[in-house]
Structure 1
Amino acid sequence: MMIEVCAGSLTDCLTAQELGASRIELNSALHLGGLTPSLATVILAKQKVFPPIICMVRPRGGGFCYSDLEKDEMFLAAKQFLEAGVKGIAFGFLQSDGTIDQVATKRMIKLCNDYQAESVFHRAIDCTTNYQESIAQLVNLGATRILTSGGKANVRQGVDNLRHIQKDYGNQIELCIGCGITPENVCELIEATTIRQIHGSFKEWQTDPTTSNQYVSYRYSEQGDYDAVGSHKLAKAINNIRGNTNG
């Protein structure tokens, strides 16, 4: 089993390492679905953690149809991260009609290949207009891996699609399931999809006493001041997976 932790900070990376994560996807701004982390965070993460690090390259929230200027930013960030020694880049390029931007995708895959790194097309795949066709295109383009919830809002809803693409394409491209993974459902979803890579943040809410006062608030959720990888949730998920595998 490959257990990939979706980290939003250096602290999250250290938590993931301590609890035995197999791989880390490093982001910023997880409340926006994950954006490009700072180069400083990447450099420090490479110094302090041992699991392989995949870096998100996503310049803004919203969708995945990028301007030329945004693409320039993404390719420069990816090159800097690869030169810093990360294991791979997570990215997603779509055209305005909801199809994969094959030109930009091919360019990013080549950049990753130039550094002997992994190219990971993230959940932008779940926003495409033709999910099955998009999977086939990424196989043909030579992407290393696809992170997906099966073209649905979460993995539980996408189980049937995930099972089918694993059967049809699992020997041609790596598949990793993400969105809606919890300690309680992780073993069930692995069994149902037969996919052996899972991705989750196992989020727990944290507090910071300086987030708000009687006049100003920087809180973006009523559940807490900011989110982080939850050590209790991640530990439980890993223990459940190991227990199920050993059993």
Structure 2
Amino acid sequence: MLIKEVCVENFTAIPAAIRQGAKRIELNDNLAVGGTTVSRGVMAEAVRYAHEHDVPVMVMIRPRGGHFVYNDQELKIMEADIFSAQELGADGIVLGCLTPDNQIDDEAMEMLIGAANGMQVVFHMAFDEIPTAQQAEAIDWLAEHDVKRILTHGGPLDQPLNQAHLKELVTIADGRLVILPGGGITADNVTAIMTELGLTEAHGTKIV
């Protein structure tokens, strides 16, 4: 079965997304900047509604738009938002922390994964900023730290979905975690893309 994860802004789009077949929700605010963390009120209502319909909710943990290098204050905010997500019953969190030279920020990630305390952890498209030569090492690190999925476009978002590179990532991941393709996947092309990649999960704002 194909799992369509719908990326939504705020609560408003969730009922329609679920009616149209969304099997998982990624909950964001401010999609214009690539998604940030919603308010606690939105989080509570989204989780309650989605769970009534047996749909899991992944909460974006991102305090602002822009780059993925976070200072101590921002990490403190992210940790607090993770605690809220957990308290409100969210199924998982979506985040990504990098160093200034575009490697995984091990220390920040370890702290935030610890805060997630067993919730699913998804590493988002910050992954695509990691130089291609270092992505295999990054996948190893994420798999060892129980990260469940990597959301990736396979390359820069302003270019078409890089299916060749996504296939390479799937081979490297080797079943240790899920490569979740996103960016440019729609209700019209999702089946063809999933067949081509041999995957059963996809992510998008227009996927249903």
Normalised TM-score (structure 1): 0.77
Q: Are 1:11 and 2:20 an aligned pair?
A: no
Among all aligned residue pairs of Structure 1 and Structure 2, give the percentage whose two residues are the same amino acid: 32
* Superposition map of 1:214-233 within 5 A: none
- What's 1:181 paired with? 185
Offset, 1:6: 0.2
CA RMSD of aligned residues (A): 1.6
Offset, 1:16: 1.4
Q: Is the 8 A contact 1:163 1:192 kept in 2?
A: no
Structure index of larger Rg: 1
Q: Are 1:43 and 2:47 an aligned pair?
A: no
* Superposition map of 1:23-42 within 5 A: 23-42=24-43
Offset, 1:67: 0.8
Q: Give ranges in structure 2 of 5+ residues lacking alignment.
A: none
Give, as a single letter, the amino acid of the residue that structure 2 aligns with 1:46: V
Equivalent residues, number:
202
Give, as a single letter, the amino acid of the residue that structure 2 aligns with 1:39: R
* Superposition map of 1:188-203 within 5 A: 188-202=192-206
Q: Is the 8 A contact 1:154 1:178 kept in 2?
A: no
Offset, 1:141: 2.2
Normalised TM-score (structure 2): 0.91
2:166 corresponds, among 159, 162, 169, to 162
Offset, 1:18: 1.4
- In structure 1, how many angstroms separate the alpha carbons of the residues matched to 2:50 and 2:191? 26
* Superposition map of 1:7-156 within 5 A: 7-50=8-51, 51-112=55-116, 114=117, 116-129=118-131, 130-153=134-157, 156=160
Greater relative contact order (Cα < 8 A, sep 6+): 2
- In structure 2, how many angstroms separate the alpha carbons of the residues matched to 1:3 and 1:44? 21
Q: Is the 8 A contact 2:139 2:172 kept in 1?
A: no
Q: Is the 8 A contact 1:155 1:178 kept in 2?
A: no
Residues 99-156 of structure 1: CA deviation (Å, up to 9, x unaligned):
00011112222222x2x31001100001112323222221122211111111332684
SS of equivalent to 2:13? helix
- In structure 1, how many angstroms separate the alpha carbons of the residues matched to 2:139 and 2:157? 17
- In structure 2, how many angstroms separate the alpha carbons of the residues matched to 1:155 and 1:193? 18
- In structure 2, how many angstroms separate the alpha carbons of the residues matched to 1:15 and 1:179? 20
Residues 2-60 of structure 1: CA deviation (Å, up to 9, x unaligned):
11000102111111111121000000001110000110001111222231000001011
Runs ≥4 residues deviating over 4 A? none
Give, as a single letter, the amino acid of the residue that structure 2 aligns with 1:14: P
Specify whether residues 23 and 154 from structure 1 end up closer, same or farther in structure 2 by C-alpha distance, changes over 3 A only. Answer: farther
Give, as a single letter, the amino acid of the residue that structure 2 aligns with 1:77: D
